[in-house]
Structure 1
Amino acid sequence: MSDRELLLLDAAIGVLAHGGIRRLTHRAVDARAGVPTGSTSNRFRTREALLTGVLGRLLERETALWTGPAVRTGAGGIDGFAVRLGSVVEALGSTDRELTLARHAVFAEAARQPALRTALQAARRRLAAWLAPLLADLGSHDPAGDLRRLLALVDGLLAGQLVDPEDDFTPAPAIAALLHGLIDPRSASHRAGG
């Protein structure tokens, strides 16, 4: 992807974050990016092409956060992992809030557009391929199921933070509580039975 396309897609993320899906137009992206009128439509001919490009860029930026060096199981077990993952969720609710707002707008649109939905499902599979083994390393006996529950919690925490922002947003305790509830009892019963 060219630097110009990245500029336009990041501007489109800003438009979505601040104005919602209805405000996403080629002209609005041009204005936000500070480029001549018509620049966005030259690169992304249709609104669908623009939305597909935005989704790809959102996923690229979010994946960089999720898979960065901060989120590894490493030392600290469940609690250490929850702190590291919590820092990513905290960023998505504060410093990277634009990404989350734009993602929610695109997710709502994906419910109506099969092509976007397919792209989101593929991205979720890539995230699962990376994150489920980390949950298995923590002791999960159902990494895929536990991942679904973890992502549901993360989505809920972020939705709450978007609607009613807390100055001291700290998602790590909720993440740790969920993971302890999912993994610890299973690990204990597995050890007792094995």
Structure 2
Amino acid sequence: MAGRREQALDAAVRVLGSQGTRALTHRAVDAEGDLPAGTTSNYFRSRDALLSGILGRLLEQEKDAFAALAGEPHPVSADELAGRLGAMLRQLAGPARPMTLARYAIFVEAAHQKPMRLELLAWSRSLWSWAGEWLAALGSDRPEEHAREVLAFADGLLLHRLSRGGDGEFAPEASLAALLRALVEKPVDN
């Protein structure tokens, strides 16, 4: 069972992801988490402290998700990797939508707060290194650089889907596969 601090952070993620940054108050988090009044402010004295706590909680969850993904066998083709990334993006745009929206809101906050930005950058470097290993296995000659490009592209697809919606099926695999093939396949000399 999660402690009250984690309970408050999970509630804060839900508030942020479902109602936006303006709705994120200590009182709203207490109500969302069914916590006694004042609990959130006992753990996070300021809004900045709460935002920093949310970032830490989201990164913790992201690390767990990527650790599970990293434990799988390396993909053997661009299409296989595109399939895995596409499935992850559908999860993030569907059932995990509130958490994903909270993640993007925190990214915007990190742009204005150097300590949060540095924490996010440290995690990103780990992610680029891990993703670079998979791209190297597929033949990338610049795996970490390509990992940054692929993950930025995937984030763009996800953000576009979340912010602009769409009634049709979210099927990012073809776009991801095209990018991956362009990065890892060597041109044939004539």
Q: Give the TM-score normalised by the residue count of structure 2.
A: 0.91
Contact 1:8 1:40 in 2 (8 A): yes
Deviations 1:102-134 (A, max 9, x none): 011111111111111111101101211211111
Contact 2:70 2:130 in 1 (8 A): no
1:78 aligned residue: 78
1:122-137 aligned at under 5 Å gives the runs 122-137=122-137
Residue 13 of structure 2 is aligned to residue 7 of structure 1: no
Residue 33 of structure 2 is aligned to residue 33 of structure 1: yes
Residue 111 of structure 2 is aligned to residue 146 of structure 1: no
Higher mean alpha-carbon deviation, 136-145 vs 17-26, is at: 17-26
Q: Percent identity?
A: 43
1:70 & 1:179 partners in 2: Cα distance? 18
- The alpha-carbon distance between structure 1 residues 80 and 73, as it changes in their structure 2 partners (threshold 3 A), is farther
2:105 & 2:75 partners in 1: Cα distance? 36
Unaligned runs of 5+ in 1: none
Residue 160 of structure 2 is aligned to residue 160 of structure 1: yes
- Runs ≥4 in structure 1, deviation > 3 angstroms? 69-76
Alpha-carbon offset, residue 168 of structure 1? 0.9
Q: Give the TM-score normalised by the residue count of structure 1.
A: 0.89
Alpha-carbon offset, residue 48 of structure 1? 1.5
Which one-letter code corresponds to 1:60 in the other structure? E
Unaligned runs of 5+ in 2: none
- The alpha-carbon distance between structure 1 residues 114 and 70, as it changes in their structure 2 partners (threshold 3 A), is closer
Aligned residues: CA RMSD? 2.1
Higher mean alpha-carbon deviation, 166-175 vs 137-146, is at: 166-175
Deviations 1:38-58 (A, max 9, x none): 010111122111111100111
2:99 aligned residue: 99
